[in-house]
């Protein structure tokens, strides 16, 4: 599905999703940078994703490569759907530590077709400190055509917070709201990320959305769930996204990836 006026959430706290690949998920820092191994200068991960649309019953694919150092992330991606719409993208994200006030995360993303987007997010969480912390963010694009892989509006504001506890993991609650294009778009996320036995990790993102795809279009409501399972250097992400991009389409997503 080709859309306008959305950015793939490269965010400021971390993809847009999924990555992004996902600039989006990163916006609330639910997909943090991978730790560097002693011999690594950059930690790399690659992902291949498939998206099935309930309206057209077609499959689209996305490939992406991400890398990170301690405070910098960068990515390349390529999307193609059965209608031969293709889009290449690239992005970078930089974290600046604010001593006892967490970190300030800024991102920039570009894509073929002239798209440019950016965001800035304050994540009040301090490293290795448990408890509550705030999240505040702002995203802007030049509203050029862009295929949004995380299905959250990026001409928007973000507010929310996280609760961290070493034994329980991290729980994040946040909303992303259109504050520019008058679509009343709102997406609310509740995300849990934690460690499991045998070096496994689990991230669960439950979300609800409401709003219109464009000004004057009917408003829709939908829910969704995304689950990511990590096993050492490999990971799989499965998701069901109802009313994706505020349309009538429901999308099933499957992505496989590995770190190197």
Long-range contacts of 127-133 (CB under 8 A, 24+ apart): 129/164, 130/164, 130/165, 130/166, 131/163, 131/164, 132/161, 132/162, 132/163, 133/102, 133/161, 133/162, 133/163, 133/164
**Position 79 in a domain:** yes
Model pLDDT, residue 27 = 57
- How many domains in the chain? 1
Judge whether 99 lies within some domain: yes
Note whether residue 184 is domain-resident.
yes
Q: Are strands 43-53 and 59-68 parallel, antiparallel or unpaired?
A: antiparallel
Q: If we measure between CA atoms, which residue out of 18, 22, 4, 25 comes closest to residue 176? A: 25
How high is the pLDDT of residue 146?
86
pLDDT at position 33 is: 83
Domain assignment present for residue 193? The answer is yes
Query: Is the Cβ–Cβ distance between 220 and 243 less than 8 Å?
Result: yes
Is residue 218 assigned to a domain?
A: yes
Q: Where are the beta strands (DSSP E) in the chain?
A: 43-53, 59-68, 72-80, 86-97, 103-111, 115-123, 131-141, 156-165, 169-178, 186-196, 200-211, 220-231, 234-241, 251-259
Q: For residues 251 and 192, give the distance between their C-alpha atoms in angstroms, rounded to a whole number.
A: 22
* Phi, psi for 119 (deg, rounded to 5): -155, 165
Domain assignment present for residue 100? The answer is yes
pLDDT tens digits in sequence order for the chain, 260 residues long: 344 433 333 332 232 233 322 334 445 555 678 889 899 999 999 999 999 999 989 999 999 999 999 899 999 999 999 888 999 999 999 999 998 899 999 999 999 999 999 999 999 998 889 999 999 999 999 999 888 777 899 899 999 999 999 889 999 999 999 999 999 999 999 999 999 888 899 999 999 999 999 999 999 999 999 999 999 899 999 999 999 989 999 999 999 999 99
Strands 220-231, 115-123: pairing kind: unpaired
Three-class secondary structure of residue 148 per DSSP? coil
Helix (H, G, I), strand (E, B) or coil at 244: helix
Q: What is the CA radius of gyration of the chain?
A: 17
167: containing domain: 25-259
**Rounded Cα distance, 175 and 164, in Å:** 18
Confirm whether 186 is domain-assigned: yes
What's this model's pTM, rounded to 2 decimal places? 0.87
Q: Residue 203: inside a domain, yes or no? A: yes
pLDDT at 199: 81
CATH number at residue 255: 2.40.160.40
């Amino acid at each position: 599905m080709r859309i306008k006026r959305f950015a793939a959430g490269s965010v400021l706290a971390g993809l847009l999703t999924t990555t992004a690949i996902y600039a989006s998920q990163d916006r609330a820092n639910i997909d943090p940078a991978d730790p560097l191994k002693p011999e690594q200068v950059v930690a790399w991960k690659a992902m291949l994703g498939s998206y099935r649309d309930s309206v057209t019953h077609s499959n689209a694919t996305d490939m992406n490569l991400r890398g990170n150092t301690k405070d910098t992330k960068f990515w390349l991606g390529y999307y193609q759907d059965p209608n031969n719409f293709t889009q290449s993208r690239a992005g970078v994200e930089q974290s600046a530590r604010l001593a006892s006030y967490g970190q300030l995360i800024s991102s920039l993303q570009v894509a073929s077709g002239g798209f440019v987007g950016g965001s800035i997010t304050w994540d009040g969480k301090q490293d290795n400190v448990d408890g509550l912390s705030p999240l505040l963010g702002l995203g802007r694009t030049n509203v050029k055509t862009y295929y949004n892989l995380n299905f959250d509006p990026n001409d928007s504001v973000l507010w929310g917070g996280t609760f961290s506890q070493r034994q329980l993991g991290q729980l994040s609650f946040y909303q992303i709201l259109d504050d520019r294009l008058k679509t009343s778009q709102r997406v609310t996320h509740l995300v849990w990320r934690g460690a499991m036995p045998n070096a496994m990790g689990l991230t669960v993102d439950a979300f609800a959305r409401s709003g219109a795809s464009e000004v004057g279009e009917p408003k829709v409501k939908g829910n969704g769930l995304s689950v990511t399972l990590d096993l050492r250097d490999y990971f799989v992400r499965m998701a069901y996204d109802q009313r994706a991009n505020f349309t009538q389409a429901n999308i099933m997503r499957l992505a496989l990836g590995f770190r190197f």
